[in-house]
Amino acid sequence: DQQVKQNSPSLSVQEGRISILNCDYTNSMFDYFLWYKKYPAEGPTFLISISSIKDKNEDGRFTVFLNKSAKHLSLHIVPSQPGDSAVYFCAAPAYNFNKFYFGSGTKLNVKP
Amino acid sequence: NAGVTQTPKFQVLKTGQSMTLQCAQDMNHNSMYWYRQDPGMGLRLIYYSASEGTTDKGEVPNGYNVSRLNKREFSLRLESAAPSQTSVYFCASSTQGTLNEKLFFGSGTQLSVL
């Protein structure tokens, strides 16, 4: 049973507009979440994280929002750029950090 | 600064052949992981090693074995490859149990089993 879910396999956005990528989780014990970005033929790279004590974390054009009651987080990219075109994974570590659970990914295409 | 290094980058095997995927990290991390990525399935954990000398099964361990050779190196072995093991394999490492924990990934091994 997937503990972290990304229900949108793909998203297409015009350059300069906002991209919103969504992620849901089922395990209420998760208290830390990460977003990773992956380009073709490369490994995933860390993008941004959020602790459950916060409901928002911002880093430049990237903002992650956490809604604990809904078990939902989202990644906002504003403004979107063609270089943001990649697959985005959300992830959460187990309580003792000995493993990380990943969603299935959302492929973002930012059109020039 | 190399980070996490995986070899080989590409491999084609015939069903029943064996091979070992190598991984090394130079960040002095305690924990190391092997994931596979399949379309629509995201990243699934095969095995992990929380520290030197320990290994544990992840979500999809069948058909694989691992060895944590030392703190730097963590290898993944396919004893008798099957077409279902066609995938992209990623090794990762992390410092376990710290605040702001994150995984660092290698660039991946694309494996095809014919």
Give the mutation candidate from A64, A102, A107 for the B interface (greatest B CB count, under 10 A). A102
B106 interface with A at CB cutoff 8 Å: yes
- Three-state SS at B72: coil
What percent of chain B is predicted at pLDDT more than 90?
A: 78
Chain B residue numbers touching A97 (CB-CB < 8 A): 31, 94, 96-98, 101
**SS3 sequence, A61-73?**
CEEEEEECCCCEE
The band of A94, judged by pLDDT with boundaries at 50, 70 and 90, is confident
- In angstroms, the CA A13 to CA A29 distance is 33
**In whole angstroms, what separates CA A111 from the centre of its chain?**
20
B90 interface with A at CB cutoff 8 Å: yes
Strand-pair partners of A101: A92
**A90 and A75 Cβ atoms separated by less than 8 Å:** yes
The band of B100, judged by pLDDT with boundaries at 50, 70 and 90, is low
Q: What is the mean pLDDT of residues A7-28?
A: 96
pLDDT of res. A1: 67
Q: Which residues are CB-contacts of A37 (< 8 A; sequence separation ≥ 6)? A: A44, A45, A47, A86, A87, A88, A89
* A96:B31 CB<8 A: no
Residue in A100, A103, A105 closest to B103 by CB: A100
Average pLDDT score over chain A: 93
Give the mutation candidate from A21, A38, A42, A99 for the B interface (greatest B CB count, under 10 A). A99
pLDDT at B51 over 70: yes
- H/E stretch holding B76 reads strand B74-78
The band of B96, judged by pLDDT with boundaries at 50, 70 and 90, is low
Strand-pair partners of B79: none
pLDDT at B99 over 60: no
Say what the alpha-carbon torsion angle B35, B106, A104, A73 is, to the nearest 10 degrees.
Answer: 120
* A89:B45 CB<8 A: no
